[in-house]
Copies of this chain bind each other. A is one copy, B any other.
Amino acid sequence: MLPATFPLNAWYAAAYDVEVGRSLLGRRICGIPMAFYRRTDGSAAALEDACWHRLLPLSLGRVEGDEVVCGYHGLVFNADGRCTHMPSQETINPSACVRAFPLVERHRFVWVWPGDPALADPALVPDLHWNDDPAWAGDGKLISVKCDYRLVVDNLMDLTHETFVHGSSIGNRAVAEAPFVATHGERSATVTRWMEDIEPPPFWAGQIRHARGYGGRVDRWQIIRFEAPCTVVIDVGVAPAGSGAPQGERSAGVNGQVLNTITPETATSCHYFWAFARNYSLGEQRLTHELREGVAGIFREDEKVLEAQQRAIDEHPGYRFYNLNIDAGAMWARRLIDRLIEAEGAARPVIPPRAA
């Protein structure tokens, strides 16, 4: 058996809120096929996506009231996973049930807890409040990437790669050579990089000119905050050089939050949810649209690199990776993930092939 690459006792983004409705959505989370739907009161529910009877994915069936009807023989399951109807049969086998997963809806995401339900504390949902805070405007996407979710975390924890992967938009030599500071806490790690008094890269030059009418040199920041196991918020922006941003006075600048949460689908594939929220030009739909597609273009460049990297890793089993100075943030993220996995240890919640 391969070593675990993700903890089970954690909240994972399973879907954007609008993806879950009155028809069933099938999606694999941490290796477990799940079926998502909303009840008549609008609340979302998650069941294991395999009928107790013949294993047909319940997501091929339909929602009836607050329950799910299997698309093969019509067994009905409620949101707790208990079978409430069997065809041509009065008595229902008491073992007839499928797993139901703890679920919380917050910050425009549906979060699911694949591990021990007793530990599913909603207070542990990662903070992505910018995603539905009226002081911020933005939009995002879900992309499917064929790599270990940790490679995406590595990628986000070191923005040196912007220079080489995204040279045409947000990257320039200033990023690759700027010094940074890496710190960490119990479940989080932070990498802070200030580039003071620089020429802004094309993307930020356009934003600050558009929003503030400013065209000169800037102080630029990137504050990357990782929250284990798989959420990364990047506080990014520029302000006029010398206007006090490094000291906390950002009002003359423009500020964005790149929200990322990357849910393992399997050990080598993931659902990557991201959004870009900004605190300027809030009412401009056109800008929202433009930024969303612009960021999507940047992430497609990452996707290509990440999938190539995964294929190379698959080909070099046991390869011991070398770390550079720039990897400090990623090393801390990996260590925090490893700790969560180890903490589950022998008590790691078993995912039985079937719940019964």
Contact = CB atoms under 8 A, between A and B. Distances in A.
A85 to B, nearest CB: 10
B308 A73 contact: no
A72 to B, nearest CB: 6
Given A55-B319, A60-B304, A160 B354 contact: no
A143 interface: no
Interface in A169-212: 176-180
A158 B180 CA distance: 66
Given A87-B163, A88-B160, A179-B88, A72 B322 contact: no
A325 interface: yes
A71 interface: yes
Interface string A278-321: 00000000000000000000000000110011001101111101
Contacts of A50: 312, 316
Each complex incorporates copies of this chain amounting to 3
A159 to B, nearest CB: 10
A336 B258 CA distance: 61
Contact of A305 (B72, B93, B316): B72
Nearest to A151: B54
A70 interface: yes
Nearest to A310: B55
A324 interface: yes
Of the candidates A179, A316, A324, A353, the one having the most CB atoms from chain B within 10 angstroms of its own CB is A324
A65 interface: no
A43 to B, nearest CB: 25
Interface in A75-112: 86-89, 93, 95-96
A160 B322 contact: no
A39 interface: no
Q: 6 smallest A-B Cβ distances: which pairs? A: A55-B312, A74-B164, A316-B353, A87-B176, A87-B160, A89-B325
18 contacts: A33-B315, A54-B309, A55-B319, A56-B312, A57-B308, A60-B308, A71-B164, A71-B305, A74-B160, A86-B324, A87-B176, A87-B326, A88-B180, A88-B325, A96-B322, A316-B354, A317-B353, A319-B354
Interface of A: 33, 50, 52-57, 60-61, 69-74, 86-89, 93, 95-96, 154, 158, 160-161, 163-165, 176-180, 304-305, 308-309, 312-313, 315-319, 321-322, 324-326, 353-354
